Structure 1
């Protein structure tokens, strides 16, 4: 294996969701200067789901015109669009237009929609492209995909976005009738004051544009660098459905390596029927199970739980919130590293790990529902538990996602296209289900980072 190819695959993967992840972590700085205010997250949720038109088009083309659409030109287009959109965002995100008698951040919303199209479409194009490389590099790609959330979060943390300090609040001023001065009467409450950022949102968006440029350069080198060419197999192997015989031959030859062999249980000999999916390694029921788990895991990690993270963590304090967000972002690439050196493809283990991670997700959801007075809110142990719950939630389900990606990679090009489509479907269903609960019906109440009034 080539270290250069690993580095390039990782940098390429970082371009998959870095733009939208960066937009989310920059929200506390952006919302204070636009007319939409804190309604912007709701708009972002809708825009991201509308952007699934990109993956839908790619999936339908693959289904009804197999072999016609090459993912490489599409990747060049969407990454180039991402570079331009993030660069323009740096200069026009504050601009507003009057629509229906009120101000709206039209350039910000339009550019964010374009970035959503870029990132959503990457799910159904980046993964199939990785079929051109040896399977070991797919795990490295997932490491980069995890870093696409971690790196913007660390930069935003350095920037000081969302950091607050608490100071005494003054609620009333009582005028002294006999003196020229006024007496300030303090309430004893603490008020959360956002600290000024160390650098502007414009600099941050330029950084995101540079990250997209790095991803594009990595993609170009993956296509044309001589060292990477030795890690690639014959292009006939990747020509979609145009050369199924060649592709299956390549699969069978490469499956001889120990790391590529799926872990088939001792019940293999008792299976009566194989599915027509991929190489037919798994039965129809197992294929359904894999895709249901994939959709469920992505719904939880990409939409359902992130929408309530602030509700579950802020009652324990601002430090708990930032620690859980940062460590959860670290857990994603860590899970990919674990999967690289300890790949376990047992479907039983996958199901167990999914239930394990879902259990911690349920705890996080329960604490969000109990906000602003969740369990152990006044104790250090409560802070430790909520941070640990978020870490284990992301760690376990990220491992499941990588494992499914590797399994489907063994099943061929079409399997990875459907993998990306199901990832987007699960994320969309999760976002659609949580949007009315959080933004319309207001079932969750925010905790105060400085004042917690709960019974001990």
Structure 2
């Protein structure tokens, strides 16, 4: 398989969620400049769920107009729209309008909705498109999807987002205490949004090349040839690549197995995309600012690394899929326990506490990222319809997870933040 096509598939994957992931990591710099303040993350959660109207519309088109949906045209449209929305954000994110007598970030929230629409719709269009290429490229696509979270986080780290130190501050009675002081960023929010726009543009160029580059056309031709050869003469296919492709196509899952696969997929995405990101700061900050940033960075890196591992160790075992999903769920249980007990989680003043929480986050993200890859490979074997519904289930699971944790965190306030400069516990 052509190395150039692998690179293009990876770059296409980076455009899937880079905009929304970038917004999350940039929040510490956005919040001081908008009238919504720290309510902005809550608004962002709701806006992202509204973006699910895109995948719903695509799923309905596939249902009522089977075989007539032009996915290539949709992908061109959403990538172009994403580039434009990121570019507009760079110049208008601080603009406000008076709504109900109060200033509101109408431009920011409107553009956030359009970006959410773009990223959510990518789940039900990019995956079906990747079926046009040989199975190995789907794994590369998942590596790129993982990088869509890691690369903005890496740039934000270089920008200095959230980098802080503890400094003495005076209080009443001449008492002093340590408080968190955040450093000024190395470059502006506008520059960061221009970076996101350039990443979307690179993804768009990669998609153009996947459609027109001779090497990519050859890979699509190989996939069609192997499928036709298996239909015409299933016992006369030679070579390791052909044998592997035939082995995958020869199996058809039962409805109970498909229900199990989609159930695991929904659960995993509810955890990774909805529930657990909302409690990461509560689970890590009591152990210190270093523990929080280390867990966030390494966990983001674990996603593409797990998918990269899948390039060499692909697996379609439903038993392994369930085992890894269970292991990831147990890790999520410990992480949730530390968040619930914040600001006094287990092993608070011990190095083992920092090591354990960072390790749990890395293994949690890594194991469930590999499960996502496994489900993608299995569903690819089942055909185009399975990959469309794969995207739908990803979005539904993410939405349920986000809407479940939202009132717990933002409405009822059941979680309490730890102070990275004060590790004392009440009582």
Category of TM-score, reference length = shorter chain:
over 0.9
Partner of 1:242: none
Please state if 1:84 is matched with 2:84: yes
Residue 214 in 1 paired to residue 202 in 2?
Answer: yes
Aligned ranges 1:296-307 → 2 under 5 Å? 296-307=267-278
- 1:310 aligned onto 2:251: no
Give structure 1 stretches of 5+ with no counterpart. 174-184, 238-244, 264-277
Q: CA RMSD in A?
A: 2.1
What is the deviation of 1:436? 0.6
* SS, match of residue 231 in structure 1: helix
- 1:274 aligns with none
**How far 1:455 moved relative to its partner?**
7.2
Tell me how far 1:261 sits from its aligned partner. Answer: 6.0
1:43–1:279 CA distance, 2 compared to 1 (3 A): farther
- TM-superposed CA distance for 1:257, in Å, is 3.1
The structure with the greater share of residues assigned to helix is 2
Deviation at 1:283, TM superposition (A): 1.3
How far apart, in 2, do the equivalents of 1:397 and 1:257 lie?
A: 29
What SS does the corresponding residue of 2:30 show, helix, strand or coil? Answer: helix
Contact 1:294 1:422 in 2 (8 A): yes
Pairing partner for 1:186 from 157, 167, 175: 175
1:290 CA drift (Å): 0.2
8 Å Cα contact 1:83/1:212 also seen in 2 = yes
- TM-score of the superposition, structure 2-length normalised? 0.95
Deviation at 1:338, TM superposition (A): 1.1
How far apart in 2 are the matches of 1:69 and 1:99? 39
Match of 1:205 among 175, 182, 193: 193
How far is the alpha carbon of 1:453 from its aligned partner? 1.3
- Rounded Cα–Cα distance in structure 2 between residues aligned with 1:309 and 1:346: 30
Matches within 5 A, 1:315-394: 315-394=286-365
- The alpha carbon displacement at 1:337 in A equals 1.0
**Structure 2 residue aligned with 1:33:** 33
Q: 1:371 to 1:111 in 2, by over 3 A?
A: same
Tell me, yes or no, if the aligned pair for 1:132 and 1:232 is still in contact at 8 Å.
yes
Paired with 1:261 and 1:292, the residues of 2 have a C-alpha distance of: 26
1:52 and 1:403 mapped to 2: Cα distance? 24
Q: Distance in 1 between matches of 2:247 and 2:293?
A: 39
Residue 142 of structure 1 deviates from its aligned partner by 0.1
Match of 1:414 in 2: 385
TM-score (norm 1): 0.89
Alignment of 1:77-156 (within 5 A): 77-156=77-156
The equivalent residue for 1:395 is: 366
Q: 1:443/1:248 Cα in 2 relative to 1: closer, same or farther (>3 Å)? A: farther
1:429 to 377, 400, 420: 400
CA distance, structure 2, for counterparts of residue 250 and residue 17 of structure 1 = 40
The answer as to 2:292 corresponding to 1:292 is no
Q: Rate the CA distance shift 1:246–1:260 in 2: closer, same or farther, 3 A.
A: closer
Moved more, 333-342 or 246-255: 246-255
Compared CA separation, residues 165 and 279, structure 1 to 2 (3 A): same
- On the 8 A contact 2:134/2:223 being kept in 1, the answer is no
- TM-superposed deviation, 1:435: 0.7
- Residue in 1 aligned with 2:75? 75
Residue 257 (structure 1) aligned with residue 242 (structure 2): yes
Distance 1:261 1:376 in 2: 52
- 1-structure distance, mates of 2:229, 2:387: 14
Kindly state the Cα deviation for residue 186 of structure 1 after the two structures are TM-superposed.
3.1
Computing the radius of gyration over CA atoms, which structure comes out larger, 1 or 2?
1
Q: Answer yes or no: is the 8 Å Cα contact 2:133–2:223 preserved in 1.
A: no
Displacement of 1:451 after TM fit? Answer: 0.8
User: In structure 2, how many angstroms separate the alpha carbons of the residues matched to 1:292 and 1:229?
Assistant: 35
- Contact 1:54/1:121 (8 A) holds in 2: yes
In the other structure, the counterpart of 1:226 is: 214
1:320-353 alpha-carbon deviations (Å, 9 max, x no partner): 0000000000000010011110112110111111
Q: Whole-Å Cα distance in 1 between the matches of residues 25 and 229 of structure 2?
A: 42
C-alpha distance in structure 2 between counterparts of 1:452 and 1:89, whole Å: 38
User: Corresponding residue for 2:253?
Assistant: 282
User: 4+ runs of 1 displaced by more than 2 Å?
Assistant: 233-237, 245-263
- Classify 1:113/1:247 alpha carbon distance in 2 versus 1 (closer, same or farther; 3 Å): farther
